[in-house]
Structure 1
C-alpha cells in the first residue's frame, strides 16, 4: 500500500507562508514483498520535526524501519557509502621477514664485546710484556715531537694541519674512534698528508684515576676500547691505526700498557712539564694560561732541555680566537728550525731507541681475528 502524503505544517503567523511543495510520486513496489511497516506516526509540526533525534549508529537491517533502501531512494537523497556503508577489512597476508642485516658496531666503551686475544701473541712480538711508556726521545739529536690529541672536538684541527703542511712536518695524531666518526674528512686529510694516526681509545674513558686502575676496566674491556677505535679507522680508510696509543688523561698503569701491547700498541706519553694545557679556558683559572704564554713557555723549555722533548697539544679548543696557542705556533716552529731543531713523529723516536712496534703484517694478522669481535 502506498504511503500517505504528510499533511503540510501549519503556517507560522510571523513568517510568510512557505512555497507550495510538489507532491512526490508514489514509490513503486519492491521486487519482493517487504516486511509490514508499522503504523505511521501522527503528523508533527515543522518545529516538532526539528526536535526529532538523529540516529547515532546505522543499522544495516531495515526490518521494522520505514526508510527506503539506497537503491529505492531518489538520487539526491541517497546516503553516501563512506558514511553508511560498513567498511570491509581485508586480511593482511604476512610477509616473510628478510634476512637480518649485518649488525652495526655496538655502542662504544661500556658495551663493547669482550675480545679474546690469541695465546700465541706473546711469542710473535718481543715487545709484549715490556709495558713501555715513551715520554722522551734520545738526546744529542735536537729532535722534538709535537703531538696532538683528537678527543671529541676539532676547532683548531684544520689550522694545525695547515701549519704542519706549510712546513713539511709529519707528526703523530692520537684520535678517538668518536673523533674519527665525527670528522671523517679531517681524518682522511691527516692520512693523505702522511701523519701517523695513533689510538686514543674509542670514547676517552678514565682507565686509572690517580694512576690506579679502576677495577671495572678489565683486560677485555680495555682491549675492546682500543679495537673499537681501530675498527672505526678501518671502516673509514680500510687500514688499521699506526701501532701507537695514548691513554686518555694520561691515566695508565704497567698492567694496562701490557694489555695494549698484546694488540701491538706501544704507549706514547709526553715529557714531564710538556703538557701545554691548551684546552683550558679562562674558567679553569688554576690551569689556564693564555695562548701567548703557552708558546713562550714552549720556547723556554726548548732552550733549557728540549732535546727529545715530546709535547702534548690538542686539536680541539674551547678558547676564543686570538687566545689559542696555534696563533703563535707557526712562529715557534720557524724559530726552532732556524736554531737547528727537527720535528719528528713517534715512530721515528721509537726506531731511534730501538723500540719499534709491530710491523703492519703482524698487526693485520692479529686485527683480522679480533676486529670482528670488537664491532
Structure 2
C-alpha cells in the first residue's frame, strides 16, 4: 500500500507543474467514448484542488449544488464560494440542482406528500412533511442560486441527495421541470466510504477496472467522514487512466438520455430569476 501511495503522490506531483485555470476547450463532438463525471456538493474543502485537476486535464463535468455546511465560509452556495462557482462556469462546466437543503427523501405519504429529512439548514436532521410544491421549491431555489452565481442557466436536471427517491417523487420533480440523474454502478467512486476499509488505492483500481463508456460517475466536493480524502489523490490518476483507455469526458448536456430534455425544456425564467 505504501508503494501505491507513492505512485499516487508522484502522479499528482508531476501534474501540479502543469498550468491550471484554463477554459475547457474540447468539443463534445470530438468525444466519441464519453464518460460523464459529476460532483455533488459537500464541505468544499477539496473543491479548489478538484478545480485545478479538471482545468489541467481539460475535463468538463456537471456539478449538482445544494447549500451544505462547509469547512470555510457560509455554505456551499453562499457568498464565500460564489467566486469559485463563477470560475467554473467560465471554464465551461454544467450545473444542476441537488435541492437547497440537501433534502433526503424518506417515504411517500398520502395526498401527494413526502417525508423529507434535510441534512443542511435550520431544520437539519428533522423529519418533515413536504408537499410536492415544497420539494419543487427546494429544487428551484438551488437552481436559482446557481444561476445567480454563475450567470449560466442550470440544466433542468436534479440529483436527489443520497440518490434516494420514489417513482412518485420523480413524477413530482418532472412535473415542475426536472429529470433525475443517478449514476452507474461502476460510477460510484466511493469517496464517501470509510477510508480504513476502502483506501484510495483500492478505489482507484476498482474504478479503472470497471468504468465503461457511457457511465455516469459520481463524487463529492468534500466528505466529512472520510479520513483520507479521495480528491484530488484519486481524481488525477483516474482521469489519466481513463484517457489512456481511450475514454473522454462530457457534461450531462451531451448525455443521450438527457440532451433532448435539456434542449427542449429549459427551466422557466421565473425560477432562474427568483434569487437564492
For the criterion TM > 0.5, the same-fold answer is yes
In structure 2, list runs of 5 or more residues that go unmatched: 1-31, 69-75, 117-128
Shift of 1:276: 2.2
Shift of 1:326: 2.3
| Match status 1:214 vs 2:115 | yes
The aligned counterpart of 1:128 is none
| 1:340-351 alignment, distance < 5 Å | 340-349=246-255
Shift of 1:147: 1.1
Shift of 1:194: 0.8
4+ aligned runs moved over 6 Å, structure 1: none
Distance change (3 Å), C-alpha of 1:228 and 1:298: same
Matched residue of 1:363: which SS? coil
Counterpart-to-counterpart distance in 2, 1:148 and 1:236:
17
Distance change (3 Å), C-alpha of 1:238 and 1:360: farther
Matched residue of 1:170: which SS? coil
The aligned counterpart of 2:145 is 232
Counterpart-to-counterpart distance in 2, 1:360 and 1:234:
18
Of 202, 218, 226 in structure 2, the residue corresponding to residue 293 of structure 1 is: 202
- What per-residue deviation string (whole Å, max 9, x for no partner) do you get for residues 111-159 of structure 1? xxxxxxxxxxxxxxxxxxxxxxxxxxxxxx53211211113x1111111
The aligned counterpart of 2:188 is 275
Greater RCO, CA 8 A, separation 6+ = 2
The aligned counterpart of 1:146 is 37
Counterpart-to-counterpart distance in 1, 2:66 and 2:81:
11
Note the aligned Cα RMSD (angstroms): 2.8
Q: Which TM-score applies when normalising by structure 1? A: 0.53
Matched residue of 1:147: which SS? strand
Matched residue of 2:268: which SS? helix
Shift of 1:320: 4.7
Of 34, 56, 79 in structure 2, the residue corresponding to residue 166 of structure 1 is: 56
Counterpart-to-counterpart distance in 1, 2:257 and 2:252:
11
Shift of 1:338: 2.1
Instruction: Answer yes or no: is the 8 Å Cα contact 1:291–1:326 preserved in 2.
Output: no
The aligned counterpart of 1:252 is 165
Instruction: Answer yes or no: is the 8 Å Cα contact 2:253–2:262 preserved in 1.
Output: no
Moved more, 273-282 or 357-366: 357-366
Instruction: Answer yes or no: is the 8 Å Cα contact 2:186–2:215 preserved in 1.
Output: no
The aligned counterpart of 2:216 is 310
- What per-residue deviation string (whole Å, max 9, x for no partner) do you get for residues 30-79 of structure 1? xxxxxxxxxxxxxxxxxxxxxxxxxxxxxxxxxxxxxxxxxxxxxxxxxx
Counterpart-to-counterpart distance in 2, 1:316 and 1:335:
22
Counterpart-to-counterpart distance in 2, 1:262 and 1:193:
31
More strand by share: 2
In structure 1, list runs of 5 or more residues that go unmatched: 1-140
Q: How many residues align?
A: 220
**If you compute each CA radius of gyration, which structure gives the higher value, 1 or 2?**
1
Shift of 1:207: 1.5
Counterpart-to-counterpart distance in 1, 2:190 and 2:114:
24
Counterpart-to-counterpart distance in 2, 1:273 and 1:328:
15
